[in-house]
Amino acid sequence: MSMMKGNAVIGQSGGPTAVINQSLVGVIETLKGCKSIPKILGANHGVSGIVKEKFIDLKKVDKTTLERVADTPAAALGSSRDKPDEAYCERIFKVFEKNDVRYFFYIGGNDSADAARIVNEMADAANYELRVFHIPKTIDNDLRVTDHTPGYGSAGRFVASAFAGDDRDSASLPGIKINVVMGRHAGWLTAASVLGKIDETCGPHLVYVPEVPFNVNQFVEDVRETYAKLGRCQIAVSEGISDETHTPIAVNLAERLGHRVERDSHGNVQLSGSGALGDFLSDFLKSNMKEKYKTLRVRADTFGYLQRSFAGYASSVDQIEARQCGRKAAELALAGDSDGSIVMIRAKGNTYKISYKRAELKDVARLTKDMPKTFLNKAGNGVTQAYVNYATPLVGELPKLGKLF
């Protein structure tokens, strides 16, 4: 198949990651030399930038800047929370026709894969030749088909190092320490909290994820038990932990305190950018343990946006893979593939090795992937060795720590 002539559009969408710009640069560097693609247009703030025709020509960006951008967290093109419906996608398609856009690369999560899918179907229906590729990104690691998502390893590296250091801090000044980790529906990132343990006496001693219904009374029991044994307790909690009725614990709190519950354009409740859940759990523990432990020290930290945006601490494995996902999408498009989502397939066996493949957009769009039961312990308050084996190669090298007591 001959190389299609026309312009390319690249957009970034959803919550950014530390390596989403690696994928961006992977696409740009692969397309840059192609004479059949006169312009590589970067859409400012994803689909919203497309419909407003807010573009910059990425062919004009020099290599030094591109490499710095690749190493910079967050979406260098600007991101968007818009979830395009049919009418929105129609506007996108019209802009593409008007600007002779024949290649569309959309870096994002499952919602972005779905937007790409809709635009692709419209192009098909209009008999307009368009190459549409979704490039995965999310710190949540909750996309289907792919072994893991670009962005997860770097966020996991941050979380693992944060817990490892905080555990030593908590051992220095013992007490109960709660750390709230991002993860609305899936516990992948919270699970990464265990990856930096020096030994089994180190925290996190308890790990709670959204996949397991959270019972506040069982929580107090778990903490009491650890505290009685070790004289301290470090706890990892997903922001999205929910009770048996699937109501987030954070929402329970907001309603209890009479706060307005903020929702985004997707109808999701705001869980990040607030310390409320950690403070609630902290207060709950204090009031339930104060009779036995009069001077109990309880602290809560909410890691917040640092998990996805901290500069200078990405996983080198994640950086390489995110770059390669961008390149692969561009290569497939140039080679004549009309659409797809890039997925990473892990080789069987003990040596970590990834190959990059094409999946159908519809198989990645919309639905998400929770942690499997084999990665969670029976008590519902920890992760298994199988998870550790799965995740260790993704976070790159962790600092080698030591202890005296």
Task: Tell me which residues in 85-144 interact with a copy of itself (CB under 8 A).
Answer: none
Residue with Cβ nearer a copy of itself (175 or 380): 175
Q: Find the binding residues for a copy of itself in span 288-347 (CB under 8 A).
A: 298-306, 308-313
- Give the footprint of a copy of itself on residues 164-203 (CB under 8 A): 164-166, 168-169, 171-173, 177, 196
Q: Which is nearer to a copy of itself, 42 or 210 (CB)?
A: 42
Catalytic residue, chosen from 114, 140, 167, 222, is 140
Which residue of 12, 120, 138, 149 would you call a contact of a copy of itself, by CB under 8 A?
12
- Which residues 6+ apart lie within 8 Å of 82 measured at CB? 46, 47, 48, 88, 265
261 binding a copy of itself? (CB under 8 A): no
Give the number of C-alpha atoms closer than 13 A to the C-alpha of residue 311, restricted to the C-beta side. Answer: 7
Nearer to a copy of itself, 171 or 364 (CB): 171
Tokens 């204090």, located at residue = 286
5 or 290, CB closer to a copy of itself? 290
CB 214 within 8 A of CB 206: no
CA 106/CA 188 separation, integer angstroms: 23
Indicate whether 65 belongs to the interface with a copy of itself (CB under 8 A).
yes
The CB-of-186 to a copy of itself minimum distance in angstroms stands at: 21
Only segment of 125-133, 276-284, 323-331, 352-360 that touches a copy of itself (CB under 8 A): 276-284
Q: Which of 31, 50, 77, 122 binds a copy of itself (CB under 8 A)?
A: 77
The radius of gyration of the chain from alpha carbons, rounded to an integer in Å, stands at: 22
CB 298, min distance to a copy of itself, A: 8
Count of beta carbons in the 10 Å neighbourhood of residue 219: 22
Helix (H, G, I), strand (E, B) or coil at 282: helix
Minimum CB distance to a copy of itself, residue 321 (Å):
19
278 and 178 in contact (C-beta within 8 Å)? yes
Work out whether 59 is an interface residue with a copy of itself (CB under 8 A).
no
Q: How far is the CB of 29 from a copy of itself (least distance, A)?
A: 14
Compute the distance between CA of residue 192 and CA of residue 176 in angstroms, rounded to an integer.
20
Distance between CA atoms of residues 357 and 355, nearest Å: 7
Helices and strands (H and E) in the chain: how many: 14, 11
Out of 3, 34, 56, 289, the only residue in the binding site for a copy of itself (CB under 8 A) is 56
Per rule CB under 8 A, is residue 398 in the interface with a copy of itself? yes
Q: Point out which span in 86-94, 109-117, 132-140, 268-276 binds a copy of itself (CB under 8 A).
A: 268-276
Tell me, residue by residue from 16 to 55, as one string, x for binding to a copy of itself by CB under 8 A and - for no binding: x-x-----------------------x-x-----------
Residue among 123, 143, 142 at smallest CA distance from 134: 143
Of 279, 337, 360, 370, the residue at the interface with a copy of itself (CB under 8 A) is 279
DSSP assignment letter at 52: T
- CB of 18 vs a copy of itself, minimal distance in Å: 7
Contact 159, 181 (CB under 8 A): yes
Q: How far apart are CA 273 and CA 261, in angstroms?
A: 13
Nearer to a copy of itself, 33 or 402 (CB): 402
Q: Are β-strands 40-43 and 131-136 bridged in parallel, bridged antiparallel, or unpaired?
A: unpaired
Residue 399 structure tokens: 């600092």
Please pick, from the candidates 272, 315, 324, 341, the single residue that binds a copy of itself as defined by CB under 8 A: 272
Sign of CA dihedral 258, 263, 268, 270: negative
Q: Does residue 73 touch a copy of itself according to CB under 8 A? A: yes
**Least distance from C-beta 279 to a copy of itself, angstroms?**
6
Nearest-approach distance from CB 69 to a copy of itself, in angstroms? 4
The reply to whether 222 belongs to the active site is no
Pick from 119, 182, 207, 276 the residue near a copy of itself by CB under 8 A. Answer: 276
Indicate the pairing of strand 339-346 with strand 131-136.
parallel
Q: How far is CA 372 from CA 67, 69, 164, in A?
A: 37, 35, 25
> Cα–Cα distance between 328 and 342 in angstroms, integer?
7
* Least spacing, CB of residue 76 vs a copy of itself, in Å: 5
The answer to whether residues 370 and 213 touch, using CB atoms and an 8 Å cutoff, is: no
The catalytic residues are: 140
